[in-house]
């Protein structure tokens, strides 16, 4: 469990974050949404232990992450962050070395590292050719996958994803979301997802927090957030907008639908029901 208590952060005498209070339960997928400059990335840095707030505490499993003795341990083993444009972090000769980097920093033996990398490569469908290739020769999507592997290989208790699908094409986005979904199903860890809009990823969240001018605006379930999206100045996911437009005409399609395939099935079902009603009775 993570408890964020009264976090404040200042930069050049301006408050970037002010009195942030919330908690995330074990196994929860938590979304943080905010416009550019709302303080999302600062909150990510604070949650990862990379920036120290001027006030407040972050308690993970009863331990303050800014307690010097615990800090390094927590950072290496418990919290992993996939930053915006994570492909920037790659530097090794091979993808294998890059994935092994954080494990080697923890002085884990090579045999365990090899086993863990093979496991994560299998999970993320990273072929051995890619593992032995230079990270600089990979495509954008492959680099993102490699960066995700770097974060997941440490088996973090808390996984923070900062704008994980920005710049990815729809196909790669879908695949990326599926990896995260499967990983969460397998590990039951805390996943914190940060974005500037309510997108496809928002459907995975148990709760979403919206940030504005460094303060919490709303903390609620995704469907309630989507309803207030326009008021808050965000865009709701396209599928949710279509469903709400259909439902305005007296239909009742579930707002929990997140994929086009599910929506197609629901709409076809509605059409069939309507056709069955309008069919003239044969005598």
Partner 1 sequence: MQNLTFGRYIPSNSPVHKVDPRIKIISSILLFGFIFSAKNLLALIFVFLALLGVVLLSSIKLSKFLKSLKFIIILAFITNFINFIFEIFALHKNIFDIEYYIVLNSCITLLKLISLIFISSVIMYTTSPTGISSAISSLLLPFKYLGLNTEEIAITITISIRFLPILLLEAKNIALIQKSRGVSFDGKNIFLKAKTLFFISVPIFVLSLKKAHELAAAMESRCYNVNSPRTKYKILKFKQEDLVAIIYIFVIILGVVICNKIKI
Q: Which spans of this chain sit near partner 1 (rule: CB under 8 A)?
A: 45, 48, 50, 72, 75-76, 79-81, 83, 86, 88-91, 101-102, 105-106, 136, 150
- The span from the CA of 238 to the CA of 121, in Å, is 32
The residue among 48 and 258 lying less far from partner 1, judged by its C-beta, is: 48
In the complex, what is the shortest distance from the CB of residue 30 to partner 1, in angstroms, rounded to a whole number?
18
In the complex, what is the shortest distance from the CB of residue 105 to partner 1, in angstroms, rounded to a whole number?
3
The residue among 120 and 150 lying less far from partner 1, judged by its C-beta, is: 150
The residue among 102 and 173 lying less far from partner 1, judged by its C-beta, is: 102
The residue among 48 and 199 lying less far from partner 1, judged by its C-beta, is: 48
In the complex, what is the shortest distance from the CB of residue 43 to partner 1, in angstroms, rounded to a whole number?
14
Helix (H) or strand (E) holding 64: strand 63-64
Report the chain's C-alpha Rg in angstroms: 21
Residues 106-120 as b/e (b if ≥16 CB within 10 A, e otherwise) read eeeeeeebeebbeeb
Residues 178-212 as b/e (b if ≥16 CB within 10 A, e otherwise) read ebbeebbeeeebbbbbbbbbbbbbbbbbebbbbbb
In the complex, what is the shortest distance from the CB of residue 48 to partner 1, in angstroms, rounded to a whole number?
5
């Amino acid at each position: 469990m993570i408890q964020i208590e009264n976090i404040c952060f200042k930069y050049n005498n301006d408050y970037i974050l002010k009195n942030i209070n919330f908690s995330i339960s074990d196994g929860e997928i938590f979304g943080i949404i905010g416009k550019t400059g709302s303080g999302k990335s600062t909150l990510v840095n604070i949650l990862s232990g990379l920036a120290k707030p001027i006030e407040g505490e972050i308690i993970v499993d009863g331990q303050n992450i800014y307690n010097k003795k615990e800090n390094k341990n927590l950072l290496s083993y418990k919290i992993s962050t996939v930053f915006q444009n994570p492909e920037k972090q790659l530097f090794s000769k091979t993808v294998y070395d890059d994935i092994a980097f954080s494990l080697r920093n923890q002085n884990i033996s090579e045999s365990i590292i090899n086993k863990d990398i093979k496991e994560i490569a299998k999970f993320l469908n990273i072929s051995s050719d890619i593992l032995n290739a230079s990270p600089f020769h990979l495509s954008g999507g492959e680099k993102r996958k490699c960066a995700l592997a770097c974060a997941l290989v440490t088996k973090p208790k808390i996984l923070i994803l900062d704008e994980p699908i920005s710049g990815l094409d729809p196909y790669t986005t879908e695949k990326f979301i599926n990896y995260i979904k499967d990983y969460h199903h397998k590990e039951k860890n805390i996943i914190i997802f940060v974005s500037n809009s309510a997108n496809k990823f928002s459907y995975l969240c148990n709760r979403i927090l919206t940030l504005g001018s460094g303060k919490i605006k709303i903390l609620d379930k995704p469907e309630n957030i989507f309803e207030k999206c326009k008021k808050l100045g965000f865009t709701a996911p396209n599928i949710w907008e279509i469903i709400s437009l259909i439902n305005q005409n007296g239909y009742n399609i579930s707002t929990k639908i997140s994929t086009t395939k599910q929506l197609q099935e629901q709409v076809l079902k509605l059409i069939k029901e309507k056709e069955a009603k309008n069919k003239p009775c044969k005598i």
